[in-house]
Every structure is written in C-alpha cells, then in structure tokens.
Amino acid sequence: MSLRGFHILFIALATLCSAGFWAWAYCNQETARELHVVTAANLSGSLAIGLFFYGLWFAFVKSKTIRV
C-alpha cells in the first residue's frame, strides 16, 4: 500500500471514529452527561466534519499533485 493510500485510509478511519463517538454520545445523552463527555463529543463531531472535508480535498485535489 502506498503512502497516499495509507493516508486516505487513516483519514477515513479517523473520521469514522470521531463520528462514531459523537453518535454514541448523541444517542446516549444521559450516559454522556454522567461521564462528563458532552463537550468532548461535540468537539469530536466538529473534528469529524473537518476530517471529512480534508479527506475529500486530499483525495481529489492534493493527491493529484503528489508524485509517486
């Protein structure tokens, strides 16, 4: 696997993990409040959105300029 492919895979997995944590906290709001992770979950949701757009940018714009 190339470095470019690994980077795209890593960004995709990081996006899914961040979005998954936010979704868990959203679906289990009472438990999230008890564990005091609401703020972290909201930041994780924002990070997931940022990672999603970064992944699109990297896959379709930046990786075209990288020579193998």
Q: In the chain, which residues have pLDDT < 50?
A: none
Q: In this predicted structure, what is the pLDDT of residue 42?
A: 97
pLDDT of residue 33: 97
What local confidence, expressed as pLDDT, does residue 41 receive? 98
**Secondary structure percentages of the chain, helix, strand, coil, to 5:** 90, 0, 10
Instruction: Confirm if 68 and 2 have CB atoms less than 8 A apart.
Output: yes
Please tell me the predicted confidence (pLDDT) of residue 1: 80
- What distance in Å separates the CA atoms of residue 10 and residue 26, rounded to the nearest whole number? 24
